[in-house]
């Protein structure tokens, strides 16, 4: 899945109508409501505030008075097609006096989202497991060399009576690591975390 970490805004103009495409990172529906209220304050007297969001498995779109299916739903489809999660997109329209028609509206709202998405910073998000790996000092180099070749990273290393490596990875072949050290280490799954990797668009 993909996410953003901060807000982005982009203005486009189509046949004298102004469309402000806005993206917000959100963690829950309450944040969605707060941002929507804020948008109405930040862009007073706009003609329409159309939106779509995907957050924690929930999805919703709203045309806000535009013809049904011309604004919110195509924006929601755009979010789905780009695998964007925990995100709210709002397109604020100031009517310029020229009607666009249903197909013109649909293109305009999707374009407003596409344009703001083009300037946004997007991250691939993966949930990784966090492991505690404890060993005596004689095994430290063996373990460190082994995990350095895996698709993960060390969060912290503690040098006390034993060495403890706090390690994050999608998966860890515990059986192989135990065999490599003649069953002299202890591996415990202690949690998980989200890891963000910036996507080059």
Confidence class for position 97, pLDDT limits 50, 70, 90 = confident
Beta strand spans in 26-177 (E): 48-55, 58-62, 87-94, 123-135, 152-159, 163-169
pLDDT of residue 98: 87
Average of pLDDT values for 76-85? 97
Average of pLDDT values for 69-80? 96
**Tokens describing residue 52:** 């779509």
pLDDT tens digits, residue range 120-135?
Answer: 999 999 999 999 999 9
Q: What's the predicted TM-score (pTM) here? A: 0.80
pLDDT of residue 51: 98
Confidence class for position 200, pLDDT limits 50, 70, 90 = confident
Pair 12, 93: CB distance under 8 Å: no
Check residue 135 and report its DSSP letter.
E
Quick one: what percent of the chain has pLDDT higher than 70?
100
């Amino acid at each position: 899945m993909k996410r953003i970490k901060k807000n982005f805004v982009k203005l486009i103009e189509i046949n004298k109508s102004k469309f402000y495409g806005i993206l917000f990172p959100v963690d829950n529906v309450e944040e969605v409501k707060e941002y929507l209220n804020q948008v109405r304050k930040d862009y007073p007297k706009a003609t329409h505030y159309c939106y779509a969001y995907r957050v924690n498995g929930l999805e919703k779109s709203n045309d806000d008075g535009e013809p049904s299916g011309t604004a919110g739903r195509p924006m929601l489809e755009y979010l789905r097609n780009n695998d964007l999660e925990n995100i709210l997109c709002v397109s604020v329209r100031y009517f310029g006096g020229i009607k666009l028609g249903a197909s013109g509206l649909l293109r305009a709202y999707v374009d407003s989202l596409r344009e703001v998405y083009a300037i946004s910073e997007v991250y691939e998000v993966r949930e990784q497991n966090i492991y505690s790996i404890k060993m005596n000092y004689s095994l430290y180099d063996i373990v460190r060399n082994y995990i350095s070749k895996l698709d993960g990273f060390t969060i912290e290393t503690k040098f006390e009576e034993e060495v403890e490596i706090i390690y994050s990875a999608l998966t860890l072949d515990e059986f192989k690591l135990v065999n490599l050290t003649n069953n002299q280490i202890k591996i415990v799954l202690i949690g998980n975390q989200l890891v963000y990797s910036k996507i080059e668009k």
